[in-house]
Amino acid sequence: MKILCSKDILQTGVNTVQRAVSNKSTLPVLQGILLKAEKQTLTFCATDLEIGIRCEVAAEITEEGSTVVPAKLFSEIVRKLPDTIISLDLNDDVLIIKYFQAEISLKNYDPQEFPLLPDLDDARFFTLPTALLKNMIRQTAFACATEETRPIFTGVLLNIDGHTIKMVGTDTHRLAYRIAEIPNQDELQFNGLIPSKTLSEIYKLIRDEDEFVNINFSDSQISFQFGSINMISRLIDGQFPNYNQVIPKSCDTKIYVSVDSLLDSVERAALIARDNSYANIIRLAISNRILKINKVTEIGKINEKLDIKMEGKDTLISFNAKFLIDVLKIIDCEDIVMEFSGSFSPGIIRPLNDSNYLYLLLPVRAT
């Protein structure tokens, strides 16, 4: 294998696929990046057996071949290379990296031991605008669980029925729901539970110039192709809960409040709420068109008041401040509607004049 390419080309490929490199596997080859030179294309691949990423870049190939480089060391070397044309020359299992009058020799892994990333080209497929997919990921994936004890809650439900797409994420303490219409798309059907880690990586990798994402899926796997990147991921096994059953159909109290004002107040209250007894819990008191946010702990106290529009009964309810902050940061409008049905029922947050997004938050019993 003999390759000539720029440092930028190498860095683009390495930075793209190293997100999928395994840090925990007992198989050394999974801690590497597969380099494959073929037909003037240099392909980078990495996988942790849960997700896999492939990235193709143009390069001058004088001899085809493949090898697996140790990901961490190779990425550090590439980052520190000078901005010039780099030569890669494979000699048995040693990769020789040449630049100017210098060279580095790097012992590699056997590419035959690297697991192949399956192609799902013959599977069922659909296409989504990247802007739509990124927005839906941003508004739902953050609500998923991070612990693997209950795997179905670490994934985002993606449901497509005809021209309607829904994404739902929950960790059982909160739930984020987003619905949209798919423009210029034939009717299709899909229902799968995608790891939130996969979607978060896709969100980071999609560029502004990538207009569409091609999505292929089978019964157990799904792939996302955009630009020069292809990411494949397993689908999570299991039955996603019936989220419609937990969304209240009515409320006793409804308030209208500025997103920025509420976010600022909650973030300040969260600073005081960091004590050992009721970590990060704040209380909302709603009465006479005033929203009071207060917290008293051993380190201090805070008392804030916000003017609001209000319908219905006075109420008092406590929430995890972080869960409130998370949603207020991703809502794309100036005002929200908050709906309550007492101190011990879920609260609902919606953007004003936008029925396509909903956030459900369970209250916390706190003194």
The average confidence (pLDDT) of the chain is: 92
Q: How confident is the model at residue 367 (pLDDT cuts 50, 70, 90)?
A: low
Q: How confident is the model at residue 22 (pLDDT cuts 50, 70, 90)?
A: confident
Q: How confident is the model at residue 8 (pLDDT cuts 50, 70, 90)?
A: very high
Q: Are residues 239 and 256 in the same domain?
A: no
CATH code for position 138: 3.10.150.10
Q: How confident is the model at residue 295 (pLDDT cuts 50, 70, 90)?
A: confident
Count how many Cα atoms sit within 13 Å of the Cα of residue 35 in the half-sphere of its side chain: 33
Q: Are residues 12 and 104 in the same domain?
A: yes
Q: How many CB atoms sit inside 10 A of residue 98's CB?
A: 15
Mean pLDDT throughout 119-127? 75
Within-domain flag for 119: no
Q: Are residues 108 and 176 in the same domain?
A: no
Which of 113, 135, 151 marks a domain boundary?
A: 113
Q: Are residues 254 and 233 in the same domain?
A: no
Say if CB 9 and CB 42 are below 8 A apart: yes
33-42, 67-76, 123-132, range with the lowest pLDDT: 123-132
For residue range 59-106, list pLDDT tens digits in order.
Answer: 999 999 999 999 999 999 999 999 999 999 999 889 999 999 999 999
- 161 Cα distance to chain centroid: 23
Distance CA 256, CA 19 (A): 41
Mean pLDDT throughout 196-200? 95
Q: Are residues 204 and 258 in the same domain?
A: no
Q: What range defines the domain where residue 254 resides?
A: 247-361
- Of 56, 50, 44, give the one whose Cα is nearest residue 18: 44
Q: Are residues 131 and 98 in the same domain?
A: no
Which of 198, 228, 243 marks a domain boundary?
A: 243
For residue range 215-232, list pLDDT tens digits in order.
Answer: 988 888 999 999 999 999
Q: How confident is the model at residue 240 (pLDDT cuts 50, 70, 90)?
A: very high
Residue 327 pLDDT exceeds 70:
yes
19-33, 150-164, 342-356, range with the lowest pLDDT: 19-33
For residue range 135-156, list pLDDT tens digits in order.
Answer: 999 999 999 998 888 899 999 9
- Of 164, 197, 156, 158, give the one whose Cα is nearest residue 183: 164
Task: Categorise residue 224: left if φ over 0, alpha if ψ from -120 to 50, beta otherwise.
Answer: beta
Distance CA 365, CA 367 (A): 7
Within-domain flag for 367: no
Number of domains in the chain: 3
Q: How confident is the model at residue 162 (pLDDT cuts 50, 70, 90)?
A: confident
Within-domain flag for 102: yes
Q: How many CB atoms sit inside 10 A of residue 238's CB?
A: 12
Which of 191, 223, 243 marks a domain boundary?
A: 243
Expressed in percent and rounded to 5, the helix, strand and coil fractions of the chain are 25, 45, 30
Q: Are residues 92 and 12 in the same domain?
A: yes
pLDDT number for residue 366:
65
Q: Are residues 107 and 14 in the same domain?
A: yes
Within-domain flag for 131: yes
pLDDT number for residue 150:
87
Residue 305 pLDDT exceeds 90:
yes
Q: Are residues 229 and 185 in the same domain?
A: yes
Distance CA 338, CA 143 (A): 18
Q: Are residues 208 and 302 in the same domain?
A: no
Phi, psi of 169 (to 5 degrees): -130, 140
Determine the residue type at 257: V
Within-domain flag for 153: yes
Q: Are residues 139 and 153 in the same domain?
A: yes
